[in-house]
Structure 1
Amino acid sequence: MQKTWRSHVLLAYSLAILAFLYVPLVILAMYSFNDSRINAVWTGFTFRWYEQLFNNRRVLEALINTLIIGFSSTIVSTTLGTIAAIALHRYKFKLQSVINGLVYLPILIPEIVMGLSLLVLFSQVHMPLGKGSLILAHITFCLSFVVITVGARLDGMRSDYEQAASDLYATPWQCFRYVTLPLIMPGIVAGALIAFTLSIDDFVISFFVAGPNSTTLPLYIYAMVKRGISPEINALSTLMMVVEIILVLLAEFLQPSHKAKAED
């Protein structure tokens, strides 16, 4: 009886936390279809704000910038992160624990500190702020997530498959191409999806290193909010939430656990 009572309390508490987190998002999405410009009053259902949003040239420019930066940073961070994860998993060397700690550091550092430090770095090397600086900044904080995700897959992979391929006279490249890479591919895809989600969602770091012609969607939404909340903001935010939820679900579906077996 006491156990049942505690279970009900825990369930109610969990539901309250979920409601606190997601009810505002549901309300925002609902009012993106409101026919009134005033969010406090529901006057009818409409797609008008989505039509105005897609006819807004500045929004399309921000969307293109976001996609270019997101895809570029994802490709580079996934490639470098996969190579780094394989190296950290396969080779043992001095100060490896220190290197592993440094991999986690960009995740632990506050975004405002990282954004300011990157701005100082770019100014010291006289690099102009724009798409290039944004791509480098996004690679910096996405790289750690890829290394950790691919590393988790490597930790759950059995080594006998590679040893069997070597016993069958496979070269190191053939062993990687036909054995290791297919086994860690779910981790690579999950890391890429996480990196892309983080890139298109980033605001703080992008705020510091963006140039005048490299406005991303989060920066554009911030500028729109400063001029006053418009139903177009609700529509744009709803579309971003839908895309990011899909990417996060895909990443979670492909995310390997530390206990996963290579044959799963």
Structure 2
Amino acid sequence: MDFLSPTTLSEALAVKAEQPGAVPIAGGTDVMVELNFDHRRPDTLLDLMRVPELAEHSVADGTVRIGATVPYSRVITELGGRLPALAQASRTVGSPQIRNRGTVGGNLASASPAGDTHPVLLAAGARIEVASVRGQRLIPAEEFYLGVKRSALEPDELITAVHLPADAGPQQFAKVGTRNAMVIAVCSFAVALRPDGQGVGAAIGSAAPTPRKATEAESFLAAELADTGLWDNRAAMRDSVRRRFGDLVAEAADPIDDVRGSAAYRRHALSVLARRTLGWAWQDYQGRTRSCA
């Protein structure tokens, strides 16, 4: 097995163009597990950790751009204020050692239905920046996931960054696992309230062949908040609204029975997670108006 370690993005893209089968590796928290269990044996590993262009984040024109090799620990400490749900999801990933190595870009590259950051990226309206020697493109998160561990990435492309709205509004993430830490999600959920555009983002993880948006739940809640004037008056939200939102989130799932949990349990847990996270996000929204007053 060859191990190539380019020091610029142009070098990395040139290698990927010449060897489309080369497997990118950043933190290695997914790739090395697959190698250790002999689930794959590529001819070439393409190390991206020495490419400085991939290791930075920036904010411009209301958008946060996170380089593909920025680790979870930096998302938590450096971007938690602007991207609260992504920081929450990052805190649930593995141990401190894993969070120091693992990256959002790597999570995307594996495209696992159980990836912790995926529901947040979908709910927040993220765009995935990918590049090749042919050029660069931005893929909306909802178009990125094609199947179990399959994505819209072309063989000669690398994930270079993730773009998310900065300071978009209240966000929450939660997941259920078989223990409190270092665990693959039984199911997960993210919600994002977008007061400026009176929109709602909601997405599930580990409860379908791909991470997916709960579009009917999004439409229901956005219409409810607009029709009742809650976006403006920020009054208490009725329990019936949260329950209906939770039911629609559960209906969006297409789970299976496996060693971590049954399909019925996943649907029930998603309903509970949706109600709780919506309640927390709405409290955040209400608290913002009280602090301004």
TM-score interval w.r.t. the shorter chain? under 0.3
Larger relative helix fraction: 1
Q: Which has the higher contact order (CA 8 A, sep 6+)?
A: 1
Please, what TM-score do these two structures have when normalized by structure 2? 0.23
TM-score by length of 1: 0.25
Larger radius of gyration: 1
